[in-house]
Homo-oligomer: A and B are copies of this chain.
């Protein structure tokens, strides 16, 4: 994975942790609670991907800078007021970055599974699992029914379509980087449209 992808992956980790810092503060957690929830949310999906596919060491065990980065973010977020996260503009920014993170993690899950020789359907599922599992764990810990299991604006569906986009691009001869960008683009645009026009699955 080159610099661009790595940058987007780190962006994904940052923004996934931001979405949970807000939830953590609302539940009255302290710095360690905020940090732990950030770890689970940002690293949970990739960890499950690595465990399912038996990839060792896990990505955050190998790249310890992710865990250090999350600690720094947790400290900074603890100094920011709750109002900052609740500003309308901030909500929009987080929503957009979250969609980028979702696309990026989905691409990484589909890519790893594909390279290990999984059939496309399973690779697409691993894309979705990598993209959404962190958020699922965040919601379970916060004692709520996970967001993605509810009637949302196409959250997991975007990850699923994005993963298939990646796989189609790679299997039709595209380069890895093109496929990743296509996956992130499709996931992002579909999610933004779904949120803007409140598109939900009919059933």
Contact = CB atoms under 8 A, between A and B. Distances in A.
Interface string A20-41: 0000100111111100110100
Interface string A65-91: 001100000000011000000000000
Contacts of A141: 136, 140, 145-146, 149
B149 A79 contact: no
Given A56-B54, A61-B52, A201 B148 contact: no
- SS of A interface (majority): helix
Residues of A in contact with B, size category:
35 or more
A51 interface: yes
A193 interface: no
Contacts of A37: 149
Interface in A154-188: 155-157, 160
A33 B148 contact: yes
A38 to B, nearest CB: 11
Nearest to A158: B32
Contacts of A143: 143-145
20 contacts: A24-B149, A27-B150, A29-B149, A29-B150, A30-B151, A30-B200, A31-B203, A33-B148, A33-B149, A33-B151, A52-B61, A53-B56, A57-B118, A64-B118, A67-B121, A67-B122, A68-B121, A79-B203, A136-B141, A140-B141
Interface of A: 24, 27-33, 36-37, 39, 47, 51-54, 56-58, 60-61, 64, 67-68, 78-79, 118-119, 121-122, 125, 136, 140-146, 148-152, 155-157, 160, 200-201, 203
